[in-house]
Structure formats: structure tokens, C-alpha cells
A and B are shown apart, each in its own frame.
Chain A
């Protein structure tokens, strides 16, 4: 009965590889997000999708490509991984994506380590 789930929990890979992180929410929300949290705990939004459409893309290298097959899923594919991509990536969802009443619910995170 997990609300927002992500897989995998941990991902260790070599520089230059391509990897994907999957996210699913069973809350019936319209909007999903990807965040990156660096080693200093700073949480910064990367993308937002509303009903499968990209609505926010925050100055993220084009090596990062989100894909939303339906409004319950938002996957993140990363090409040509670099050392600086090492971080914890959080998926989140919210009911509407609009308005300050729109609380976000976060997944457990995926710790990506690039060697």
C-alpha cells in the first residue's frame, strides 16, 4: 500500500553508463516530480509532469530524460553518467500541481553512486 514507490533503492554504476530509475504512485494524483538531493541535503526540483505532459524542466542537462507512460508513472533515464550525477533522486506526486494547497508526497529515494 506504498503511496509513492521508486526502484531501485540503490544504484551503483560506472561513468559513461546509461541507467533508469522508475517511479509509481497509487494516490491518483495528476502531477509527478523528480528532485535531486545533493550531499548537503539541498533538494532541487528537476522535472514536473501533469497528466503525462512535461510542465517544469529546470535547467537540467539533456542527458536526463523523464518519461511518463501514464499519470501514475514517471521514470527518469540518465545517459552518459558523470561523477556529479551522484546524489539521491526523489520522486514525488501531488494532487493537482497547482496552488499552494498542493501538498507533495515523496518516494523513499534512489541513491545513485557514479564511480
Chain B
């Protein structure tokens, strides 16, 4: 069974204080790893897909990286508007294309 564990559960940063969120996964064969952002009262919003170890993707202050066991979402010089819950999900080669989601990291960036 696929498993996704995100840490930390919650993270408080000061504006400009860079940090990283972790997504550890156990799958039979990784087809893709997704990062989503979820604002309070809204649905998840797609950020990135990573497919193979060593791959990196960037969007504004966010950079996602992937190894064979985990993915990191690096946040450089965050702003208060980056406050949200960040969700990680994996698609495995186990047959169906059902994503398995982690429980998310709740990020609060203080001005």
C-alpha cells in the first residue's frame, strides 16, 4: 500500500525566513509526485509534478525536488501570502491512477 508522510505538520516562519517542507513516500513504483497548495475554505491548487529522482521544478519562491524516497518543497524568502496548507500526493504503478495524499503541512508566514 502506498504511503505518504509529510513533515512538519505545521510550520511558522517570519517573512523572509527560508525553509523546506518534506514529503516522504513509499510506493511500489513512482509514476509521479504532485504538490498542491490549499488555502482555507478552498480546494487544492496544483503546483508541480515531479517524475524522476533528481528532477527539480520552480515557481516564484517555491522549488520542488525529488529523490527516490522523498520530495522537498523549498520556500525561499516567503511572504505572508505563501501561508497555506501544502499537500503532497503520489501516483504509483500499482495499477489504478488513484493518487495517495499526505496530510499536508500547514504553513504560516508572519509579516
A residues adjacent to B (C-beta < 8 A): 4, 40-45, 48, 55-56, 58, 90, 92, 97-109
Instruction: Please give, as numbers and ranges, the residues of chain B lying within 8 Å of A98 by CB-CB distance.
Output: 97
List residues of B (56-105) whose CB comes within 8 Å of A's CBs. Answer: 85, 87, 89, 91, 96-99, 101, 103-104
Q: How far is the CA of A81 from the CA of B60 in the complex (A)?
A: 44
Also in contact, A43 and B101, with CB within 8 A (given A100-B32, A100-B91, A101-B32): yes
**Is A109's CB under 8 angstroms from B43's CB?**
yes
| Beta-carbon contact of B31 and A104 below 8 Å | no
Chain B residue nearest to A97 in the complex (CB): B97
**What's the dominant secondary structure at chain B's contact region?**
strand
Interface residues on B, range: 20 to 34
Complex Cα distance, B87 from A90, in Å, reads: 14
Residues on B with C-beta less than 8 A from A42 are 101, 103
28 contacts between A and B (CB under 8 A): A4-B43, A41-B38, A41-B85, A41-B87, A41-B104, A41-B106, A43-B87, A43-B89, A44-B101, A45-B98, A45-B99, A48-B98, A55-B96, A58-B98, A90-B43, A90-B44, A92-B43, A99-B97, A100-B31, A100-B51, A100-B91, A100-B97, A101-B32, A103-B49, A104-B46, A106-B45, A109-B41, A109-B43
